[in-house]
Chain A
Amino acid sequence: MTSLSASPQRSGFAAAIERLPFLPAVLILVVLIALNGWFEPNSLGFRAVTGLVSTYLALMMLAIAQTYVVMAGDIDLSVGAILSLVNVVVIVLMEQWGGGGLTVLVACVVGILTGLACGLVNGLVVAALRLQAIVATFATSIFFTGLALYVLPVAGTPAPAAFWRTYGGRILEIPFVFWAVAVLALLLVALVRTRLTTLLLAVGDDAQGAFQSGLPVVAIRIKGYVLCGLFAALAALCVTGDTASGDPLVGGKMTLYSVAAVVLGGSALSGGKGTVVGSLVGALIIGLINSLVFFVGTPSEWQNLVQGLAILIALMAGVFVGRRVGQ
């Protein structure tokens, strides 16, 4: 065991990483952007970037969702199922209500409430009933998937035009997804400053210490899960806009990617260390790795393997660098 005493003299870079644990992720992102541009100059064009953002906005949202539970040392393996559930709820409501402008909005609100409710259920099960987060949220994910199948048994119901045209369209000549990203950025800036974020991180650092200090640890963890549900619901709206249809299983595969994005972003799964910005960058890294693998001309059957290897290496490097530099 090496001593943890910090030496006062640290290089500027190390000090910067300490303050901004997502810095290595940003570096990887910049390198990936450069490589993408090198192999396919068009990939940095306005059109391509818009496409990339509208495809990966959902994963960014889902990674942010995951971050709020990981901060407190928890995990949520049901985010994908929540996403699916909200997706079908919104689609079915919009269809039943006729797909007019106002009904679309109301459907979105109901979808968000659904996500919050799912988050609350997870929080109660994990924090209040003290079940192990991994298995408990897997169980709730089965339940949520069941609900999604009840709402919409088979994939396919299309979204009303008002919805996907907005998502894929432009407002004041700027693509809607960029507006969404801007609003998201403002929201995140606000959230970072909330007391809840500080308390979630404190709980993740040392739950027992936080409890002994008089913090309501159970309530804090439940709030983390509720925030997670909120962002999973927002991710669902993005997916709905991107695919323009309902699919009760659409989010299943995204759960593990959300965990990977969080780790890529410099957060520790053990809690206490995490930033939403990092997770957002982590999601973009996954997206850019996927596009880069395509642009360098990897034969199609090899693409998945190369992507998998690249993500594994990035994950390992991230954890390794983060520990070397940070605590």
Chain B
Amino acid sequence: MSAPASTQKTTPGGNAVLDLVKQPIVVALILIAVLLALGEALSPGFASLQQILRLAIVAALLGIVAAGQNLVILGGREGIDLSVGGVVSLSAILAGNIMSGQDGGILPAVLACVAVGALFGLFNGLGVTLLRIPPLVMTLGMLGVLQGLLVVIRQGIPSGRAAPALSQFVSQPFLFGLPGIIWLWIAIGLFMAFLLKRTVFGHRIYAVGSNEQAAFMAGVPVRTIRVALFMLSGMFAAVAGICLLGYSGSSFANVGETYMLPSIIAVVLGGTPLAGGRGGYTGTMAGAMLLVVLQSILTTINIDESGRQMIFGATLLVLMLFYGRGKAMRG
């Protein structure tokens, strides 16, 4: 069909409230509020400030991984990064080994981990652009390599520990009562907003993700952008790995794997469809928080693990029905 598919409709002022409620981020925020209220009713103290902060720390870890995932997905052409889980684990172990409990090791650890994350992102990006390997296949293969690398590193050197300052940064109040990792997440949120809205690079991400051919015809360096997105994804995953080390104190096997698919879900729940070209990071932050609150409330309810998982899976499906649906075949 040659006519452009209209995805957005401009409705006259009267439906402003309805329009607002349809925004994924608003849906996510409302659901977070509802869940917190529900949790408070079920188990008093669930929505206490301290508890919310604890949840926010967990959400920040997921949210930082999801930042990179978000960028890759925004870039379109089935963009997805399955290797983030591997990079998170690798970075956590690497950072632990480098700093081995010493504050002085933090800076070298951060530099090394971010560089390693970028390097794996570069490999992914080159495979996807130069060899035109589908992102799912490329990053899936890379995940296997990373998992192998983890075994090698873990065997060679005794498991490292987080520097005290890092642990403090992640879990103790840092500024105005908020832990450092929350500030870091806020900073990343601001950075992403600036990147996507106020830089030429950001505008080009949307152009490439929405209509690669049109972007190419308007002079956008499509390949360079795509490689950069995968590198950023690796770097964010590396940062998340370091934070995870701080959160758990010491590194252990494959901690990052649990972030792979949830990071994608957080992006989708935040209103960025897997097709790319639309959405942003603010929604993803809400999506990450929503996931964490949902999981937490399921832990609070007095049911066993099986019931929790079933409710979690079913809830995700229902949430996706709100804004994850594709176009009908009939125009």
Contacts and interface: CB of A to CB of B under 8 A. Distances in A.
B273 to A, nearest CB: 7
Nearest to B145: A308
A147 B138 CA distance: 32
Contacts of B131: 316, 319-320
B133 A132 contact: no
B264 interface: yes
B324 interface: yes
Interface string B254-280: 000000010011001000011000000
B265 A138 contact: yes
Contacts of B142: 312
B140 A146 contact: no
B134 A145 contact: no
B329 interface: yes
A147 B314 CA distance: 12
B78 to A, nearest CB: 8
Contacts of B204: none
B308 A256 contact: no
Interface in B22-49: none
A131 B143 contact: no
Interface stretch (B58-66, B150-158, B184-192, B228-236): B150-158
Interface stretch (A16-24, A98-106, A297-305): A297-305
B264 A134 contact: yes
Contact of B151 (A145, A301, A323): A301
Given A146-B306, A146-B310, A309-B145, A135 B268 contact: yes
B329 A217 contact: yes
Contacts of A142: 309-310, 312-313, 316
Given A132-B324, A323-B132, A301 B152 contact: yes
A131 B151 contact: no
B134 A260 contact: no
B250 to A, nearest CB: 19
Contacts of B307: 146, 150
Interface in A134-177: 134-136, 138-151, 153
B283 to A, nearest CB: 15
Contact of B306 (A75, A153, A312): A153
A201 interface: no
A307 B144 contact: yes
B309 A143 contact: yes
Contact of A305 (B148, B308, B328): B148
Contacts of B151: 301-305
B245 interface: no
Contacts of A149: 304-306, 309
A191 to B, nearest CB: 25
A142 B305 CA distance: 11
B317 A125 contact: yes
Contacts of A141: 313
B134 A269 contact: yes
Interface in B122-153: 127, 131-134, 136-138, 140-152
B261 A309 contact: no
A139 B312 CA distance: 8
The binding surface of chain A is classed by DSSP as helix
Interface string A181-212: 00000000000000000000000000110010
Contacts of B268: 132, 135
A134 B274 CA distance: 9
A146 B311 CA distance: 8
Given A132-B326, A138-B265, A217-B329, A304 B317 contact: no
B140 A207 contact: no
B166 interface: no
Interface in B279-331: 304-314, 316-317, 320-321, 324-330
A146 B146 contact: no
B145 A312 contact: yes
Given A149-B305, A301-B155, A260 B326 contact: no
A135 B140 contact: no
Contacts of A140: 313, 317
A259 interface: yes
Contact of A134 (B80, B154, B311): B80
A315 interface: yes
A211 B145 contact: no
Contacts of A303: 148, 151
B133 A316 contact: yes
A306 B149 CA distance: 9
Interface in A250-292: 256, 259-260, 263, 269-270
A311 interface: yes
Contacts of B133: 315-316, 319-320
A311 B308 CA distance: 35
Interface string B92-134: 0000000000000000000000000000000000010001111
7 contacts: A135-B320, A143-B314, A146-B311, A256-B143, A259-B136, A303-B148, A304-B147
Given A134-B136, A260-B141, A303-B148, 4 more contacts: A77-B261, A131-B320, A316-B131, A319-B133
